[in-house]
Structure 1
């Protein structure tokens, strides 16, 4: 394990050090510096690495051990919430308002967190990825109101979740469950959730050893899946249909 983070070169195509060599304290810190260009971000995700830093810091790159993941057939909703969903008018779509979703994620308060790690530079970087067909949003609508959403990065048949938000109670849960439903139908087995927390556990998230995660990612990112908008492919999913999911 490294005693200090690797300093990245200014070349956006330069390789990262092996993710398995990340520091133990803080857990998963691998590299520092570089930029948030599309080539560098795609290179990072392909190797199980993601950026996470606060305003005023240089880019910090992480690969924690263990890794929080969702099996796409394993997202769980509570029995009470599923009963509520049976009468829900909400509809779920994809890639119809990526900018609104990432902005809402940046503005959502988080327990114990002051400010946001989704800085203006980070926001623009993922908008650039979205415009090139690699970053996607799943959006929950109540009429014209955005009730919740999630966004992340797709490479091959691997989805790397970045952030989600609720504009209405339960909106983020529906966004995650709908994303998992579609990915499972498409044959994508995993959603990366990055760092463990109790809320993700309650929705069916589980821990995976970094070595196992990296092996899975190496296989999945090389499977064929064309970049581009998910709007047509995802279609419209009725939130009420998610009431059939298993209970948490």
Structure 2
């Protein structure tokens, strides 16, 4: 028990050590603040500029969560469709893989041309980032259902619908949550990228303004905020996973 407790603190200790060395290095080498600010300077800017930054942070959180929810729903529906209809899977799945080879940062300007500067192109960017990990993870989870259990249910007279809802979907939940956790971390990044398309507020806008004015401390505030939001989203999904698939965790013990 004590060993597990210490393991939980190890990443925090390493992170504190990293910031300490960063602080010492910047001060000893007299690096200009516009090039690389010290952690103390970044924390100071985070505190003093919180009133103006909080609005941008809230806007990115709302945008990221909305796009994440849409992306997860589309990813799950796509996975179910590809799993239930093999013909569609064989025809569409290669195209889904090709869609992920197009850089979002390159596609973003085209979305602005096609759909303007409103919310729609931003949601499309986040959805494209989020749906694919969920689709792939869910399809893999459906395939991993034990064949003997499927055979037993078919012998018991289960319909295709009962087979999916009572066997394949419950057994695929761990894999589905793995994809959702990946999408959760990507959603904030997608939201920031989408804000570069011409948003009026958001962490992406805040970062752009800070870069153009050579305020490296504000750029790092934005970076740390993105990391914190991603970790919070990830932690929430982990909590939901433990609540929903507690029976599998007990079985593993």
**Structure ranking higher in helix proportion:** 2
Task: Give the structure with the larger strand fraction.
Answer: 1
Q: Would the TM-score normalized by the shorter structure come out above 0.5?
A: no
TM-score with structure 1 setting the length: 0.27
Report the TM-score, using the length of structure 2 for normalisation: 0.26
